[in-house]
Amino acid sequence: MSRIERTLSIIKPDAVERNLDSKIKEIFVINGFTIVQEKKIQIEKSEAEKFYKVHETKPFYNELCSYLSSGPIVVMILEKENAILANRELMGSTNPKEAEEGTIRKKFGISIDKNSVHGSDSPENAKIEIDFFFKV
Ligand code: CMP
């Protein structure tokens, strides 16, 4: 079944630092996503810890949160039919070394930490993540 969905996308510090944000946004638009809202921000480590709470038991949690708060990021609400899955396909595998040709992480990712983009992994998390950054 196809339906219009919204998902949260983050352009991570490694990509913003290399001035790849415009290029990555263009890839989303070319692939049929509408950027409904966007903002460039830098978050505190405590906010990154809240955002990535689902990973709090993982061995990489501390490093992950330090990294996300280490520099400016671009957060976006993306909209498209089946946006959550479509975005995950366009991003490619979490580890850029395993990502498929043509995906954003294959093109721009440096490592499993510096993998350039984040995208929500389910409708439930998309709502939580969109509210986290954009709820007024
Ligand atoms: P992201 O989609 O933002 O969600 C959690 C992040 O943890 C993931 O991308 C990776 O950048 C990071 N990460 C670091 N180490 C690992 C790991 N071993 N497995 C999965 N994700 C990892």
- What is the chain's pLDDT, residue by residue, as a tens digit (136 residues)? 678 999 999 999 999 999 999 999 999 999 999 999 999 999 999 999 999 999 999 999 999 999 999 999 999 999 999 999 999 999 999 999 999 999 999 999 999 999 999 999 999 999 999 999 998 7
The reply to whether 118 belongs to the active site is: yes
Residues with C-beta less than 6 Å from any ligand 1 atom: 55, 60, 64, 94, 112-113, 115, 118
Q: Are 66 and 12 in contact (CB under 8 A)?
A: no
Among 12, 25, 105, 118, the active-site one is: 118
CA of 94 to the centre of ligand 1 (A): 6
How far, in Å, from the CA of 63 to the mean position of ligand 1? Answer: 10
* Predicted model pTM: 0.97
- Nearest-CA residue for ligand 1 atom 13 is 113
Q: What are the extents of the domains in the chain?
A: 4-133
For residue 59, give both structure tokens: 């061995």
Closest CA to 119 of 9, 14, 39: 9
Nearest residue CA, atom 11 of ligand 1? Answer: 113
What is the CATH topology of the domain spanning 4-133? Alpha-Beta Plaits (3.30.70)
Burial of 93 (0-12, 13-18, 19+ CB in 10 A): middle
Q: What is the DSSP letter of 53?
A: G
Distance from residue 67's CA to the centre of ligand 1 (Å): 11
Atom of ligand 1 nearest to the CA of 52: 5
DSSP letters spanning 78-131:
EEEETHHHHHHHHH--SSGGGPPTTSHHHHH--SSSS-SEEE--SHHHHHHHHH
For the CA of 12, the closest atom of ligand 1 is: 3
